Structure 1
Amino acid sequence: MNKKQRAWRNRILLAIGLFAVILVAEKTGVLARAFGSYSPYVAFALYLVPYLIAGYEVLIKAWRNIRRGQAFDEAFLMTVATIGAFATILFPETEPQAAEGCAVMLFYQVGELFQSYAVGKSRKSISEMMDIAPDYANIERDGELEEVDPDEVAVGSIIVVKPGERVPIDGVVTEGASQLDTAALTGESIPRHVEPGAEVISGCINMTGVLRIRTTKPFGESTVSRILELVENASEKKARTENFITRFARVYTPVVTISAVLLAVIPPLAGMGAWSDWLLRGLTFLVVSCPCALVISVPLSFFGGIGGASKLGVLVKGSNYLELLSKVDTVVFDKTGTLTSGTFNVVAVHPEAGVDPDYVLSNAAYAEAFSDHPIAVSVRAAYSGVIDQARIADVREESGHGVSARVDEHVIMVGNDKLMSEHGNSWHDCDLTGTILHVSVDGEYVGHIVIADVVKDDAAQTIRDLHAAGVKRCVMLTGDRRDVAEAVGAQLGIDEVRAQLLPADKVSAVEHLLGLERGDGKLAFVGDGINDAPVLMRADVGIAMGAMGSDAAIEAADVVLMDDKPSKIASAMRIARKTMRIVWQNIVFAIGVKVVILVLAAFGIANMWLAVFGDVGVAMIAILNAMRAMQVSKR
């Protein structure tokens, strides 16, 4: 609770204390014995003190809004209802309602304070994410560290991050090793180990060693800046339900105000009873009609859902996307970098009979020693030995086929079947799916190496979770070979696989799938590459891999997964559906209770105390329910 809220709370507690003392004095007859027939007027003056202490801001707000021509809001309703209750002192034939008028204002303010606290609590997880913004970056000058504004650091500069400090700008580690706490970005509690050559993103906390990092982006384009921009803009994009409630309140408030006036005026003019009786009914009707529960709890539910998702490292760019996500029944995936790691790895070495697997791998690693191709990098990574480049000569790249080199006077060839055939080397195919590198030494076939893009650990669980959550169809779109795509699809349990697609083909495929949607069903596309941006924008909900995804994909997406784990999609959908259940629970509950009490008030059955429950009580229950949207499971 901040300083302003504490002062507000203390003021309300003082007013409640005074109100309680005055109420006891009135009900026990102390005021009547002390002031006789003047006791109602004394009570009126006494109740006015806690009323003004607690509610003077509401009165000022109502007056300002009336002057601006924006009279019909909660402050106006509370002001008219409570002043009207105090005004019953002018009707000697009826019981004064000063206590009730004071109570309405007190409990309304209690509800407002509670709302302020609830909103603050729902903002907390997002505020924690806002704390990832670094205050400075360390630049080493003349052997001394100087703190500078991150905006002033040029791309390519070397920055120093000490233990306990946040990484201010995206970059690559050039010196040092450490553990990084990425929890604020990804929701993951396990630290990430980094060493020279490792890419690091801004917003992480350096836990152990000193790191020197070469920056790869200006601060304004770094991960932390993009995240802060996404979070700050999230509240601007309202869901259809939220917009409906806003429009509903604009129409509803003046309608019930006019209805309350007609209720108070027409019956006594028609001779159906005393003015004081119908005036009290009108005031009670006015108090109940205040749309606090709806106006407060619905946006709070969405905000809580967005905050809850951010705890898991899922950034939702607005409540409209949270609402759409709750209706998703088709999820379309890109393959590389989304369901697979996007990096090549040696998954098998198959030597010929009598040949050592290490002999096959070492020869391939030597032949690929000078290549920057991802396949060559993966072969070298799999080889545990040290490559002596002095032993290598006559390296030749054969475009699209492979490479040849002379190693210790032996001619090594590494490549596909076309390379083997062109040079008259025998070879045989492999049953495993992936990229096959055939290896020959001096024209003799010694075996082959299988390289594949490894499926992410949680990819299969993602598909199972989505089906369990009610997703009817999981589709994979990829530009990869059909056999590779179908093998991955079968391994993961994908419902439909479409392979060898160009970026334009992916858009066409998504448009076809969108045409198959029925009713309120929505389609989500999950991707990470720059070529996925058009599809992310075309889908009902675009979901991007944030940690390693391209800037274009993250910019085009509606939802960003900060740790690149596809399993977070099912978690985000659960949060979205839970949020929408809470929203509709609050709408039905608030409107239902209010309608009942409004009818009772119109017939004179409901008194002002029941009206207080119908307004403040319902609002507080709805707020408590809305706060459940912030409670999320880590799975």
Structure 2
Amino acid sequence: MSRVEKESQEEHEGNEESPSASCSEETAVSTCCGPDVKENETPAISSCCGNDTKEKDTGSSSACCSGVEGENELEDAENRKPNGKNTVEYKVSGMDCPSCAATIEKGLQKTEGIQSIRVNYGTGKMAVGADDHSIYNQVPQLVRKWGFEAEPLDKNKNRQTYKIEGMDCGSCAMTIEKHVSKNPNVQEVKVNFSTGKMQIEHTTNENIIIKEVQRAGFDASLDSKEASSNTKKKGASTTAISGTFLVLGFLGSFTSITPSVIMALYAISILVGGYKPARSAFYAIKSGSLDMNVLMATAAIGAAIIGEWFEAATVLWLFALGNTLQNKSIERTRDSIRSLINLTPAEATVKSGNQLIRKPVEEVGIDAIIVIKPGEKAPLDGVIVSGISTMNQAPITGESLPVDKQQGDPVYAGTVNESGSLEVKVTKLVEDTTIAKIIHLVEEAQEKKAPTQAFIDHFASIYTPIVFILALLVMVVPPLAGFGSWGAWLYKGLALLVVACPCALVISTPVAIVSAIGNAAKNGVLIKGGTFLEKAGAIQAIAFDKTGTLTIGRPKVTEVLSLHNNSEELISIVRTIEEHSIHPIAQAITTYAEERRIPAKEGKAFKAIPGKGAQAEINGVEYFAGNPKWFKEMEVPLHELKERMNELQGNGSTLILIGSREEILGLIAVADTIRDITVQSIQKLKQAGIDEMVMLTGDNEGTAKKIASETGVDRYFAELMPEDKVTAVKRLQNEGKRVAMVGDGINDAPALATADLGIAMGGAGTDTAMETADIVLMADNLGKLPHTISLSRKALAIIKQNIWFSLITKLAALVLIFPGILTLWMAVLSDTGAALIVILNSMRLLRKK
């Protein structure tokens, strides 16, 4: 439900909301920003809401300007590029509402030389067509005049994403970053261990970038569908060869083979198994990074120097084996997002006249008609223009039950057409589809560090050099002081070097976060990052917006009471008044009249009174339809209806009185209906450990009490103005609770921003919901919220398990070094084994249903 609809409903329910807090369809901008500002001519948001208004504070200014009715339809209609060959796309930042997009459009249309202009608020993109290429360079400067920033999208043509193979922990990512950034042709590079990807901006070619990564000891390939499925097995073969020579040397020690041959077998094992870590160690030292390759290579070389050839070969083989197993395991967590990429088909069937032509989805433009046959996946987002079918929307919303679709209904890329053939008009380009945005947002979320991860990374950056220096001191100080032999203390120092690797500790958090976010995405929930995952796991109270969240948001007429025993006449009058309104209560009354084939009368002088109701002149008489408070203000006697009004309000109904200035003709009671899944979801949330469920509503006390008892919420706040929801959330926080707010992501933006965690519903239908909230439920119901909370809590528990296990294992290894119990190969086994166990423990989050 849009902001307008919900606020209009509240007006009928008796709220005395000021006109400035609500925007009608016709006066969306003028109501918000003042009567002198015309729609589509609003300057920037600063002019509308004040210079100090921030995007987060307003949820993309939804609290101020997103009252434009049908914002989603507007965005869909605008989501097209200007025609013509000479078109440049720009990324526009700073737009807070659709009127901002219109401001830029109108401004640029007046610029000489610009032939076509289309600004899309939803995607934040602008397409400009001009005859003279020099004009494109002036566009960012022109756009800046209106308070926005524009950047040509082709400026990012040298920004690429590579898939990196062979990283074992965050220190490997740091090594790659430091090494590659030294190339003069590289402007910016960022490597993320969790996702296994490198974002790089450069002015050289792909092969040079790949070679640079290989020099650092890792493999790189351009990230794409083909590349993601084409994994290399090189590491496994060198591990096998190294292991074979190690076994041969070990078995040879029990035979009559000479020691020199055995040493040669161990040496080959060391060379084969140690080539990659030694090469990586060289570049890590060169770039000023102290990663695990440096520590392992140093330990192996030191062991060989003191004659422990078996130990040296075993260290490198166990290290290589551990890395291979870790890489295979962590790839499974990364595949949780790559599987989403493969959901959409690469080609679409485009209707051209009477012909059907197969085209790559990248070549299909806006407004093209595509055909989706039974059993096929939708290749692009669009609107059905012909056909009836059922679509399985599980990839987007997580709901396994198919949804009936007909003409005018939206279709999302990646969803499966289960029955009839459909003709769909494309509304979004391949890069702007809902599934593309989901993938982009999830990948961004996985790259954002959670507070715990940031702390662990900081701890590891201090811990590793300290233990490294300590290991050097152990090797040198005791022998110099006369405590034992050089060989014994050198061996202990080497073991301490291996223990200095904080690998298990460093990956304890990011692997769990990647697994949890991947699981949520496949189940129709977007978690915007590790920070919000951790917050969701610690939530104690949840505040729900009532209309459209707990309830369907579409009221129905439950009773008609006519004082003159002429219900049809009463309905005919109220239909005449309400037929010109778009709010839900008016539509409910109109639908009720249409179903009974009761026609409207001839009327004129139609007028809506914010916070009161509506009026019209019929046969020379002024009639009114609105809340009881309005009729009291006009001093129209209500005593005949008072008893029945109290009963209906007590049962949770909203009352619409109909009458003139002299008398009341009757009343109509309407009530919202609770979603089928609401009660079940609230029960599951309580089982998941949420202490308190709270409902926030603008409804009267009676309605709020009834809905609260039926849904099972513990507490409610009634008769709230939109700004009062913020106060209610703060009140809960002042009680010492960590609070999540659940709303539709548009009109609840201030409350969503105020809460510790903002959760928006119905993300599949609105771009705004996906942009403003911390967590987005793609389905338009609460069905996935219990899963989200329990998944977050399990993720927190697993992160704690991983951290404690890593610390205890590391501490035990440190303690066992000095008595001589922990050998060098045991130290390696404890480090790589602990890392593998941490990964496998985190992967349990992928399997959570």
Give the TM-score taking structure 2 as reference length: 0.64
What pairs with 1:510-521 in structure 2 (closer than 5 Å)?
510-517=729-736
- Report the Cα offset of residue 571 of structure 1: 1.6
CA distance in 2, matches of 1:417, 1:481: 11
What pairs with 1:400-549 in structure 2 (closer than 5 Å)?
400-401=613-614, 428-429=644-645, 431=648, 432-436=651-655, 450-517=669-736, 522-547=738-763
- Counterpart of 2:300 (choices 60, 82, 89) is 82
- 2:318 touches 2:825 (CA, 8 Å); kept in 1? no
- 2:446 touches 2:513 (CA, 8 Å); kept in 1? no
Specify the alignment match of 2:281 in structure 1: 62
Specify the alignment match of 1:94 in structure 2: none
Mean Cα deviation higher: 420-429 or 101-110: 420-429
- Counterpart of 1:112 (choices 305, 308, 323) is 323
Specify the alignment match of 2:240 in structure 1: 13
CA distance in 2, matches of 1:623, 1:228: 23
CA distance in 2, matches of 1:4, 1:216: 35
- 1:115 touches 1:296 (CA, 8 Å); kept in 2? no
What pairs with 1:240-251 in structure 2 (closer than 5 Å)?
240-251=451-462
373 and 214 in structure 1: CA distance in 2 versus 1, 3 angstrom threshold = farther
- Counterpart of 1:577 (choices 770, 789, 793) is 793
Q: After superposition, give the CA deviation of every residue in 1:415-460 in whole Å (9 maximum; x if it has no partner).
A: 55779999999765352423346799xxx99997643222122222
Q: How well do the aligned residues superpose, as a CA RMSD in angstroms?
A: 3.7
What is the SS of the residue equivalent to 2:438?
Answer: helix
Specify the alignment match of 1:632 in structure 2: 848
Specify the alignment match of 2:397 in structure 1: 186
1:591 matched to 2:810 = no
What pairs with 1:78-157 in structure 2 (closer than 5 Å)?
78-89=296-307, 97-133=308-344, 135-147=346-358, 157=368
Q: Which amino acid aligns with 1:7?
A: K
312 and 416 in structure 1: CA distance in 2 versus 1, 3 angstrom threshold = same
- Report the Cα offset of residue 80 of structure 1: 0.6
- Report the Cα offset of residue 138 of structure 1: 4.4
- Report the Cα offset of residue 534 of structure 1: 2.6
Equivalent residue pairs, number:
604
What is the SS of the residue equivalent to 1:213?
Answer: strand
What is the SS of the residue equivalent to 2:741?
Answer: strand
135 and 446 in structure 1: CA distance in 2 versus 1, 3 angstrom threshold = farther
- Report the Cα offset of residue 110 of structure 1: 1.7
- Counterpart of 2:602 (choices 385, 388, 394) is 394
- Counterpart of 1:335 (choices 535, 540, 546) is 546
- Report the Cα offset of residue 498 of structure 1: 2.2
Normalized per residue, the structure richer in helix is 1
Q: Which amino acid aligns with 1:501?
A: L
Please, which runs of 5 or more residues in structure 1 have no aligned partner? Answer: 90-96
CA distance in 2, matches of 1:575, 1:610: 35
535 and 229 in structure 1: CA distance in 2 versus 1, 3 angstrom threshold = farther
- Report the Cα offset of residue 234 of structure 1: 0.8
Q: Which amino acid aligns with 1:79?
A: A
Q: Which amino acid aligns with 2:250?
A: L
What pairs with 1:351-390 in structure 2 (closer than 5 Å)?
373-378=583-588
Q: Which amino acid aligns with 1:82?
A: A
Specify the alignment match of 1:45 in structure 2: 264
- Report the Cα offset of residue 147 of structure 1: 4.9
CA distance in 2, matches of 1:437, 1:159: 46
55 and 361 in structure 1: CA distance in 2 versus 1, 3 angstrom threshold = farther
Mean Cα deviation higher: 113-122 or 209-218: 209-218
Q: After superposition, give the CA deviation of every residue in 1:579-612 in whole Å (9 maximum; x if it has no partner).
A: 1111111111111122122122123222223213
- Counterpart of 2:257 (choices 21, 34, 47) is 34
CA distance in 2, matches of 1:435, 1:164: 45
Q: Which amino acid aligns with 2:818?
A: A
Instruction: Tell which structure's C-alpha radius of gyration is larger.
Output: 1
What is the SS of the residue equivalent to 2:505?
Answer: helix
- 1:349 touches 1:360 (CA, 8 Å); kept in 2? no
Q: After superposition, give the CA deviation of every residue in 1:64-93 in whole Å (9 maximum; x if it has no partner).
A: 1111111x111111111111112222xxxx
Please, which runs of 5 or more residues in structure 2 have no aligned partner? Answer: 1-227
CA distance in 2, matches of 1:199, 1:591: 51
Q: Which amino acid aligns with 1:242?
A: Q
CA distance in 1, matches of 2:503, 2:530: 20
CA distance in 1, matches of 2:330, 2:699: 47
Identity of matched residues, % = 36
CA distance in 2, matches of 1:435, 1:398: 21
Q: Which amino acid aligns with 1:121?
A: R
- Report the Cα offset of residue 121 of structure 1: 1.1
2 and 552 in structure 1: CA distance in 2 versus 1, 3 angstrom threshold = closer
CA distance in 1, matches of 2:627, 2:298: 87
- Report the Cα offset of residue 358 of structure 1: 11
Specify the alignment match of 2:536 in structure 1: 325
What is the SS of the residue equivalent to 1:563?
Answer: coil
Specify the alignment match of 1:92 in structure 2: none
- 1:289 touches 1:615 (CA, 8 Å); kept in 2? no
CA distance in 2, matches of 1:558, 1:417: 37
CA distance in 1, matches of 2:808, 2:403: 51
What pairs with 1:212-231 in structure 2 (closer than 5 Å)?
212-216=423-427, 221-231=432-442
Q: Which amino acid aligns with 1:562?
A: M
